[in-house]
Chains A and B, each alone.
Chain A
Amino acid sequence: MNALASRRRHPAAILLLLLLGLVATDGLYSLLAPKPAQAATATADDVNAGKMLFLANCATCHGQNAEGGKDGPSLAGVGAAAVDFQVGTGRMPLAGPGVQAAASKKIKFTDAQIASLAAYVASLSPGPAIPDDQYTKGDGNIAHGNELFKVNCAMCHNFAGSGGALTRGKYAPSLRNVTGTHIYEAMISGPQSMPVFNDANLSPTDKNDIISYLHELDKNKNPGGMNLGNLGPVSEGMFIWVFGLGLMVGAAVWLGAKAA
């Protein structure tokens, strides 16, 4: 909230307050209309509301016309999908400078505000739209999704979607309990270090299969408990080296010690 608080005297703040009222009255419409429809049928009001939000919250880094600056990249061609992903997962507005933006539980905008922002950025230049619900439900072929995941995603995001390290402090985040829409948007927009997986590489059906696989992983129960982060041999080996060998050494010492 610091970013917001420090800008409360910004000239756009009054406009923003007015807009919040407008957006609130518009909220019912936003709730009824599914997100994908908005990308295609964004009204001029949405775009204007989005522009105001953008000027108040994003323009400092991304520039008055989203042309980019030294603190943030240009948003030309990123499309509504990138906005919905970055803002909807709490990565933007950036909490602070760092190697990469981290997902946050604190989403700074309402769904309606995110939709307006997305409509505004999408109106600047064409880019990937927010995906249709039918491809993000996760009702696809889980086995096929697993196969695609292993080839295309697992080397960074780990076989169980637990995430992993990249170079110089960057990392691939965990994919556990991420919504289908956000997974889909990450694939088409290629946020931060992640490459783009466009619809020619992985078709929308393929993407739905991958989402289905990840949602199946979320549902997977863990009979043994203590999954050690699902990181594979590193964390498991570390555990048994420390605790297993520690117990063995303790037992050997006890066996060799003379009774009192």
Chain B
Amino acid sequence: MEPTGADGVDPGAALGLDRGHTEGEGGMPERFANPGLPPHVSRSADLGEHAARRAERQVAALFGISMVATVIFLVAYFAIDLDTYRFIPGIGQANLSNIVLGVTLGLSLLCIGLGAVHWAKTLMPDIEITEARHPQRSSDDARAEAVETIMAGGDASQLARRPLIKYTLGGALGLFALPLGLQLAGSLGPLPQAALSTTFWRKGMRLVRDPELTPIKASDVTIGSVFHVMPEGIDKSHDVLEEKGKAAVLLMRLNPDDIKIAKERDWGHDGIVAYSKICTHVGCPVGLYEQQTHHLLCPCHQSTFDVTEDCKVIFGPAHRPLPQLKITVDAEGYLVADSAFREAVGPSFWERG
């Protein structure tokens, strides 16, 4: 605290804006002096009994509010009918019992906390204390004794004299690490193989409504309609939810003249087109079809696909168009898949071609 700055100003005092910068001498000092603790600033409650009294009353008032709130809680628990709904400003129409119980219980606990903190901050001692650190090193005698004990134990176990035990113990302990590692690697599961690239769709499968799983006649799909579609038999697949997550398809009917891409028209049937509902960005279901603009919007990240242009991405983070499912009609007039998906549906993955 004693040394003064280069310009003779006490370093503890506040500096003017024009005096904050001091010219250095280009070297490090031998050692930095311990600046010590800043001087203790007393609180008003430490200085005057009047302020201390007031702090005491404040703490007591907080504890008192807590008590009142608890009593109201106890009364309200029995007094308020569970089916009473009231308009409460700022909250709206709500169950009175819920609100009163929640507010009073919260208030009683909060006021205990506030009172305790206020008590600690205003009345409990706040004098700064310095506690010096003690050396941690043991005495030389104690260190020598520890070494002696360990060496004696080693000799007594005869580990050095009987190498057979030493090496077999090492082998046993070392080998035991393998099962632990094996479980870790094994629990990562088998590789997904073709599961990421293929879906439940196969050639000849009927398109069925989700969730009823009833087949769809081409004549049922009027212009401007949208159907949420699953492959026939998906309910009997091995892992229904996983298969549904990949196979979901959106079926729309446009005026065939609105379709700008020849491949899209060929893969559909008379303006009826089927596209994977799984977004190529991160796999959300793309279901928001606007029948006037023919835009298909993904609700998660606003990727927008243009159904008239083979579901080309026209906005948002998706990078690839939605895969189209080639469809046709069977002898009875029901819509069927003419082939499985020709490319992987959903988001990109490492091995995707």
Interface residues of A (CB under 8 A from B): 147-148, 151-152, 155-156, 164, 166-167, 170, 172, 190, 192-198, 200-201, 221-227, 254-255, 258-260
Contact = CB atoms under 8 A, between A and B. Distances in A.
A195 B297 contact: no
26 contacts: A151-B210, A151-B228, A155-B299, A166-B290, A167-B293, A167-B315, A190-B224, A192-B292, A194-B291, A195-B226, A195-B291, A196-B222, A196-B291, A198-B225, A200-B219, A201-B225, A221-B95, A223-B95, A224-B95, A224-B98, A225-B91, A226-B91, A226-B92, A226-B94, A254-B117, A259-B122
Contact of B297 (A148, A166, A200, A259): A166
A259 B121 contact: yes
B285 A222 contact: no
Nearest to A148: B211
A200 B220 contact: yes
Nearest to B227: A201
Mostly, the A contact residues are loop
A167 B286 CA distance: 13
B225 A224 contact: no
A198 B297 contact: no
A222 B87 CA distance: 11
Contacts of B209: 201
Given A167-B297, A193-B292, A200 B211 contact: no
Contacts of A156: 287-288
Contact of B98 (A190, A196, A223): A223
Contacts, number: 101
Contact of B222 (A166, A172, A198, A225): A198
A227 B291 CA distance: 31
B217 A200 contact: yes
A224 B224 contact: no
B77 interface: no
Nearest to B223: A196
A152 B251 CA distance: 12
Nearest to A150: B211
B88 interface: yes
A193 B43 contact: no
Given A152-B228, A194-B291, 6 more contacts: A148-B211, A172-B288, A190-B291, A196-B291, A222-B94, A223-B98
A225 B94 contact: yes
B225 A167 contact: no
Interface string B86-100: 001011111100110
Contacts of B293: 167, 193
Nearest to B123: A259
A223 B91 CA distance: 11
B311 to A, nearest CB: 14
A222 B94 CA distance: 6
Contacts of B222: 196, 198, 200
A166 B288 contact: yes
Contacts of A225: 88, 91-95, 99
A194 B315 CA distance: 20
Nearest to B117: A255
B224 A258 contact: no
Given A225-B88, A226-B94, A260-B44, A170 B227 contact: no
Contacts of B297: 166-167
B291 A222 contact: no
Nearest to B82: A223
B334 to A, nearest CB: 12
A254 B216 CA distance: 65
B275 interface: no
Contacts of B91: 225-226
